[in-house]
């Protein structure tokens, strides 16, 4: 009897283990129509959220807002320079806790696209150059392998039951390969082979890489994705960067992309066979510290995204896209199960009809940028505004949504930094030209090396107290203490009274401040001099603010303000 019970227990345990194994044996494949997750073709809407451009306490809220807005996938680059600031010295803590970021997406039932690179561009300082990637191939392989192993160890790939359904190797390399010729192509093939050999169990992609070798999927980045098609007929059509706006440069305009144009671009991509679209960015965030790329990328990486730099919903962009996503999802079965029957009503007017047994969805489009039009479809008349698409999940019903309603080679040689001429005057010899002397580059200032911004440091300098507004000079360090304001609204440091420099709060760098105004005929293009301060950086009282001012300014007008809405 005892033996029988033991056998029964072993049988039960074996069955349980078998069932558990089957539960985590998830699959991600693809065909010409779409990414296939566990046997189901999917129309996937993705949004880029970069973990080091926010703080860990913001991640869940950002992702929940993305999910509520109709996002299926959280897309992020993996930032090599942040994770390995020097060879073999790794950082996966705080805002660089990649595992925590991925697990947060998993907790909310979201998928993840992990763009490992390691070259990422992303207007990120030391995002690394595509040409340097070849030189650093061994280091690149080591880092890529480390990231994949880290994800595997925690069962984070979909093939292990995790949320990661796609990975990217390299980034926008196609143009560089073309210029380099055979060596460039050899590097690209090696990169793809290396990535596939890591055996993640999910597909790899290469963006803007027309000759990506099988089984890697080539994808597209840009404002529009009208003419792109993958390099093989059995690969899905994927748009890895649909630009929701654009980055800002000090002294340049703040770019805005009308949501009506963005929605039109996405709907047209879908009706032409696209099945994966990623908004770059869905939340842009902040370039804390010295992470902003050069030469003049601003501290704010807001990007006119649906969720603004502070984590607030930006309407009408957020709400408009949410309705677009809802309409597209209602057409998902038709889109992944059939090819469109296209009817032309005129030069700029078309109907794309996806139909089969038990379903019929239609997209009515007017690509004329100036004139509205009326078309007759299924014995009904529909008015189409200019540059718009009406989506009908059911061909015989009224539309549920209309879109109108409501880089190069050798970046390391690019001129930047000290361009000259540099002269030294007043010496006995007259004027000495220093332009062609050997110049070296050093990150940081002496005050940083002395930990002047650290709240825990016993000061090694004597601070002058009782500052007057008349006594302020350039190239000066300032410090003050303040209490955290009540409430939970996002906060910003108002630096409009200052010139240019760096600021720290409790030892955390908010990045460069520089409320510079745009040149030329652009009266509304000034870069607003307010800088995101995450509340997680603050304590109730005695918060330390340290600034280094390079020019002139009035420190008495610096203020901590609340952000209560996003417009």
Listed in sequence order, the residues at least 6 apart from 526 whose beta carbon sits closer than 8 Å to its beta carbon are: 515, 516, 517, 518
Tokens of 534: 């995450």
Instruction: Report the alpha-carbon distance of residue 248 to residue 346 in Å, rounded.
Output: 40
DSSP element (H, E) containing 268: helix 259-271
Instruction: Report the alpha-carbon distance of residue 386 to residue 405 in Å, rounded.
Output: 10
**Catalytic position from the list 241, 249, 309, 323:** 241
Region for residue 289 given its phi and psi (left: phi exceeds 0; alpha: psi -120 to 50; beta: otherwise)? left
Closest by CA to 477, choosing from 503, 497, 509, 457, is 503
Contact 131, 412 (CB under 8 A): yes
CA dihedral 6, 7, 8, 10 (to 10 degrees): 90
Tokens of 212: 């990506």
Alpha-carbon distance values, 153 to 80, 93, 150, 160, 509 (Å)? 19, 17, 5, 10, 32
**Catalytic position from the list 123, 158, 170, 172:** 172
CA atoms lying within 13 Å on the CB side of residue 442: 7
Tracing tokens 């603004």 back to the chain, one arrives at: 308
Q: For 182-221, b where at least 16 C-beta lie within 10 A, e where not — what string? A: eebeebbeebbeebbebebbbbbbbbbbeebbeebbbbbb
Closest by CA to 95, choosing from 119, 48, 59, 148, is 59
Alpha-carbon distance values, 244 to 39, 256, 259, 309, 328 (Å)? 31, 8, 8, 13, 18
Q: Is 172 a catalytic residue?
A: yes
**Active site positions, annotated:** 172, 241
């Amino acid at each position: 009897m005892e033996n029988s019970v033991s056998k029964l227990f072993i049988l039960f345990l074996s069955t349980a283990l078998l069932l558990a194994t089957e539960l985590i044996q998830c699959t991600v494949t693809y065909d010409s129509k779409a990414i296939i997750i566990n046997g189901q073709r999917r129309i996937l809407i993705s949004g880029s959220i970069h973990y080091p451009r926010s703080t860990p306490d913001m991640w869940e809220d950002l992702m929940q807002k993305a999910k509520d807005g109709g996002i299926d996938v959280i897309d992020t680059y993996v930032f090599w320079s942040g994770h390995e600031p020097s060879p073999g010295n790794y950082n996966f803590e705080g805002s660089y806790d990649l595992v925590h970021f991925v697990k947060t997406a998993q907790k909310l039932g979201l998928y993840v696209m992990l763009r490992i690179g390691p070259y990422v561009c992303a207007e990120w300082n030391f995002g690394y150059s595509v040409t340097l990637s070849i030189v650093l191939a061994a280091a690149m392989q080591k880092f890529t392998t480390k990231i994949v192993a880290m994800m595997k160890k925690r069962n984070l790939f979909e093939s292990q039951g995790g949320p990661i359904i796609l990975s990217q190797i390299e980034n926008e390399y196609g143009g560089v390969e073309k210029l380099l010729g055979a060596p460039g192509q050899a590097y690209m093939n090696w990169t793809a082979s290396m990535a596939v050999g890591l055996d993640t169990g999910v597909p790899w992609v290469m963006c803007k890489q027309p000759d990506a070798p099988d089984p890697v999927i080539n994808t597209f980045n840009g404002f529009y994705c009208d003419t792109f098609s993958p390099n093989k007929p059995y690969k899905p059509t994927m748009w890895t960067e649909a630009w929701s706006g654009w980055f800002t440069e000090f002294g340049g305009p703040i770019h805005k992309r009308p949501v009506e144009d963005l929605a039109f671009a996405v709907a047209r991509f879908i009706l032409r066979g696209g099945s994966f679209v990623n908004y770059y960015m869905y939340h842009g965030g902040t370039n804390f510290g010295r992470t902003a790329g050069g030469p003049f990328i601003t501290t704010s990486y807001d990007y006119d995204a649906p969720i603004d730099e502070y984590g607030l919903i930006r309407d009408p962009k957020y709400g408009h896209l949410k309705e677009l996503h809802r309409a597209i999802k209602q057409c998902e079965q038709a889109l992944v199960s059939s090819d469109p029957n296209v009817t032309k009503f005129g030069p700029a007017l078309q109907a794309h009809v996806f139909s089969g047994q038990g379903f019929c969805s239609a997209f009515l489009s007017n690509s004329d940028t100036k004139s509205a039009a009326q078309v007759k479809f299924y014995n009904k008349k529909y008015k189409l505004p200019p540059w718009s698409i009406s989506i009908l999940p059911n061909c015989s019903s009224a539309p549920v949504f209309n879109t109108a309603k409501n880089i190069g080679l050798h970046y390391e040689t690019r001129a930047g930094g000290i361009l000259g001429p540099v002269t030294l005057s007043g010496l006995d010899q007259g004027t000495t030209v220093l332009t062609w002397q050997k110049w070296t580059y050093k990150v940081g200032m002496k005050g940083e090396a002395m930990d002047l911004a650290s709240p825990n440091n016993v000061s090694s300098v004597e601070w002058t107290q009782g500052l007057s507004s008349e006594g302020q000079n350039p190239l000066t360090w300032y410090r003050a203490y303040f209490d955290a304001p009540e409430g939970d609204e996002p906060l910003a440091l108002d630096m409009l009274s200052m010139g240019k420099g760096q600021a720290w709060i409790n030892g955390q760098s908010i990045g460069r401040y520089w409320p510079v105004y745009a040149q030329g005929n652009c009266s509304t293009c000034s870069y607003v001099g307010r800088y995101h301060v995450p509340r997680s950086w603050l304590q109730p009282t005695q918060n330390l603010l340290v600034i280094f001012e390079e020019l002139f300014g009035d420190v008495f007008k610096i203020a901590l303000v609340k952000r209560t809405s996003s417009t």
